[in-house]
Structure 1
């Protein structure tokens, strides 16, 4: 039982580190400080993007842990790290590509006040790309 709890703690810590990394990558892609937009601004778009990124990355991590748990703790933890980083990179690429096809600046829309349809679409794209990564794991 203690071993399983230790594995759970290790996966959770790795997941937390990857979620933080994903947040900072999104912060780099948007103007200003994303954390301030979430806590002091009225940017539902930013909340949607961060939430979608977290849900998508969480789905990737859960899928990779589920599918690789039988390979042993060390290799499974390595696969979790690898696919987690891949998920963060692909979420960023997806955001940048969508920004190219969006009139104006998607990165500015994402941190703007209120709610914007492009913010909803960008959040949906984050989840969609994450689900594609999940499917590639299975």
Structure 2
């Protein structure tokens, strides 16, 4: 007795399109997260990349929050595209770039209003609660931008 696996017509092409979409969105998401990281790096005193590489806790916390907030934006751009790959990729890229700009400016304003010396906070080898405030600002602004996409 043999068992035959019955697949719907077009199954493999649909699967291929899905795998292709995953790869393309992952590349756009990665590019946006890197651009976002370097935008934060450029607007903070010192080398954020170097501070993260040295394992400075405040730099790691702030950077991680920035990455998570960028992921929110990309995820909601994908969701809002309703399965249309080309529109979703374009929307994710544009919303991501606008989100990066909005975050960098907004977080710097929050740091100024609260009197946070972000350079000193990031360079501090000890955990600082101010890093949580800046991380929360990144996280919150990522949510705001992401939901604005809908």
TM superposition score normalised by structure 2:
0.84
C-alpha distance in 2 between matches for 1:93 and 1:68: 27
2:29 to 15, 19, 23: 15
When you count helix as a share of all residues, which structure comes out higher? 1
2:84 matches 1:59: no
Q: 1:64-112 CA deviation, whole Å, 9 max, x = no partner?
A: 1012133x22111111111111211111012210121133522331332
Match runs of 1:26-105 below 5 Å: 26-40=40-54, 42-70=55-83, 72-103=84-115, 105=117
Paired residues, what number?
136
2:117 matches 1:110: no
Query: Greater CA radius of gyration, 1 or 2?
Result: 2
Runs of 4+ aligned residues of structure 1 deviating over 4 Å after TM superposition are: none
8 Å Cα contact 2:116/2:130 also seen in 1: no
TM superposition score normalised by structure 1:
0.91
RMSD between aligned residues: 1.4
8 Å Cα contact 2:46/2:119 also seen in 1: no
8 Å Cα contact 2:51/2:122 also seen in 1: no
Q: Secondary structure at the match of 2:82?
A: helix
Q: Secondary structure at the match of 1:69?
A: coil
